[in-house]
Amino acid sequence: MSTATLRRAMTSEWIKMKSVRSTQWTIALFVTMTVGIAALISIAVSNEWSRMTAEDKAGFDPTDASLQGLVLAQLVIGVLGVLAVTAEYSSGTIRATLAAVPRRLRALSAKALVFTAVAAVTSLVTCFAAFFLSGALMHSTGAAASLSDPGAVRSIVGASFYLVCVGLIALGIGTVVRSTAAAITTMVGVVFVLPLIGQLLPHSWSEPVMKWLPMSMGQSLASVTRDPQTFAPGMAAVMIAAYAAVALAAGGFFLVRRDA
């Protein structure tokens, strides 16, 4: 793959991404939701702190509280990943994109690389912002988290990594199905509906099934304390990255095989 040609394709993808209004609104919603949920939880805990039992205080994890917005933020970053592809199919500009970059895998690689850069910077800055704001709002309780706390930085970076991978999974799904509505529905099913179904299974089935779902991997990566029912953070990172790679590989396969 020519580096110069890939760089030009990436430049084109960056121009398209930053100029589309839906991208700007989605990123704004992502930041607002992630930071806003952290703020609401921190304010609620601060107001209730004096009435909490000693056991509840001892079990409280301020880092985990600051990253609770991850639950809904993954949906927003997934929508951004879907729109990175399906917006071109709905507008018909995908034909111009593939005419400018005839090697379709190169076009998809450029799109994925640009999305990864945007999602990584956005999620990392947002997660750190949520962490610091939560700490400021909970300062009076004496329970505010610090970056020096064991596992704090790892959880923030892990949460950001998970969000990027969810976005790439959504981008791969969008490339396969091409329809915005269908891709978002599929992504919601994978991230939200499958865990609900897993919880309805018999206990002997539920635990092993839930362990392999993306949301469980996100919980492992974003949590300071280890849940024995989930993969260790390192393995969770490998698994969620593998899911993203499979989704992108499927997207590349169908992009090459089908007409635009």
CA-based nearest residue to 9, from 77, 132, 105:
105
Lookup: tokens for 70: 């991850």
Look at residue 2 in the predicted model and tell me its pLDDT. Answer: 54
Look at residue 238 in the predicted model and tell me its pLDDT. Answer: 96
Query: What totals of helices (H) and strands (E) does the chain contain, helices first?
Result: 13, 0
Instruction: Give Cα 2 to chain centroid, integer Å.
Output: 30
| pTM of model > 0.75 | yes
> For the chain (length 260 residues), average pLDDT per consecutive 10?
74 86 91 94 87 81 89 94 91 86 91 96 96 89 81 94 97 95 93 85 80 91 85 94 97 88
Look at residue 138 in the predicted model and tell me its pLDDT. Answer: 86
If you write DSSP's letter for every residue of 197-249 in order, what string do you get?
HHHHS-HHHHHHHHHTSHHHHHHHHH-SSPPTTS--HHHHHHHHHHHHHHHHH
Domain ranges of the chain: 3-257
